Structures are given as structure tokens and as C-alpha cells.
Amino acid sequence: RTACDRGKRRPTRGARNSRDGTRGAVASCMQTQRLTESPEGGKTTGIVRQFLVSLAATVVFVTIVLVSAGRVMVWQAWVYAGISLGLNLAQRVILSANPELAQERAKPGADARGSDKALLGLGFLLTLAMLLTAGLQLRPTEPPSLSMAWFFAGVLLELAGAFLFLWALRENTFFSAVVRIQSDRRHIVCTTGPYRVVRHPGNLGMILGMLGFPLLFQSTWSFVPAGLSVVVLLVRTHLEDALLTR
């Protein structure tokens, strides 16, 4: 064979490296596409999206307090923001280990009761009222109506409520954001963890947080919407019990 023939049959080292590099690039691209299109990747994206939504809500809530107070240096609001941020982060960590629950809480089934949705909307409006009244009572011309001792009591109630809520969320894989029988997920009643002692530990945690809110902000005005929020949550709990016992 001539040297030319041998060159045709045996590619040079540079050509081989080039083809190997092309194959590697193609393989890497295909692997990236598989990861992006995989269910796990989609679920992770959903959890991140939920965290961003929760973070945006916290920003809006703190902004309501600051605007109604007419100043930025409302340290109670920043303490509240820190607790809320920690709660949101802990929720995402728990939900990342339970994708089905994350999906349920992000997009509950269509069979959620209309009365429960109405109560959720009312609770949201009362939350806005709590933030607004707290800010108005923290204006520069208005000294705090409660002492620092009550502030620390409020922080403890907020932290205790957040812990109880997160414990219930971790323990109960059917901890939906709405009241419904999750037949599509073979719904069963949870009886482990805090559910061995309290029937609705998540709701109890939220009640503790609502009661701690006026104390944390040292605002007596906020007790009115906070108390109404507790009543609304108790009504939701009663309706959930009635549904579960049918």
C-alpha cells in the first residue's frame, strides 16, 4: 500500500480526538436534556418556584408593615421577616423529600370544598389587616403599646407555632393546603408524631403563630384581626373534622 492509502485507512490522531470530542459533547448535551426533562427535575423546579412565591409574599407582607408605619427601621418587621424566611426554607427542605406532598400543596385536587376556599380567602384578608394595624400602631408618633417582655413572648409563640407546623408537615404526607379527601392518593388519617397527641397539630401551630403576631409587633390593635383569624381557622378545623368522619 502507498503512504496515501495508509493515510486514508488510518485517521490521524488529531482527527480521532476531534471525533471523540464531538461524541463527548453530544453525549453531554443529551444527558443534560434527559435531566431537564425528567420528572425529578420538574419537581425540583416546582419546589424552587414555590419558595420564590413564598419569598415574594414575605416581601409584600413586610412592605405593608413598613409603608403603614411610614418608616423602614421597624425592627419588629425585620424579626418577623427572618422567622418567615426560616419557615419557608424549612418547608422547601421537607417538601423536597416528599414530591407528592409538594405537588398536592402547590396544586390541590379540583374537589376542594368551596366553603374552605372562601374561608382561606377571608383568612388572607385578615392577615393583611393584621399587618396593616401593626404598622399603623408602630408609626414614629405612636410608642409600642406592649413591653419588650411581650415581644419576646411573641417570638417564642411564633417559633413554637412554626416548629409544630413543620413537624406536622414532615409527618403527614397528606397535609394539603385545602380541606379535601385525597382519594387519588389513597388518603389515610395520620396517627404518628404530633398526631398521636393533637388531632390537628398543623392548625394548632398556625394558631400559635397568629396569637404571637400581635405580641411580636407590640400591637394591641392587631389582636382584633388576629382573634378573628383564629376563629376562621377553628371553623375550618371543625369542617375538616366533619368531612373526615363521614
pLDDT tens, residue by residue, 175-225: 888 777 777 777 777 888 999 999 899 999 999 999 999 999 999 999 999
pLDDT value of residue 112? 72
What is the full DSSP assignment across the chain? --HHHHHHHS--HHHHHHHHHHHHHHHHHHHHHHHHHSHHHHHHHHHHHHHHHHHHHHHHHHHHHHHHHT-S--HHHHHHHHHHHHHHHHHHHHHHT-HHHHHHHHS--TT--HHHHHHHHHHHHHHHHHHHHHHHHTSTTS--SS-HHHHHHHHHHHHHHHHHHHHHHHH-TT--SS----GGGT-----SGGGGT-S-HHHHHHHHHHHHHHHHTT-STTHHHHHHHHHHHHHHHHHHHHHHT-
- Regions of the chain where pLDDT drops below 70: 1-47, 244, 246
pLDDT value of residue 13? 52
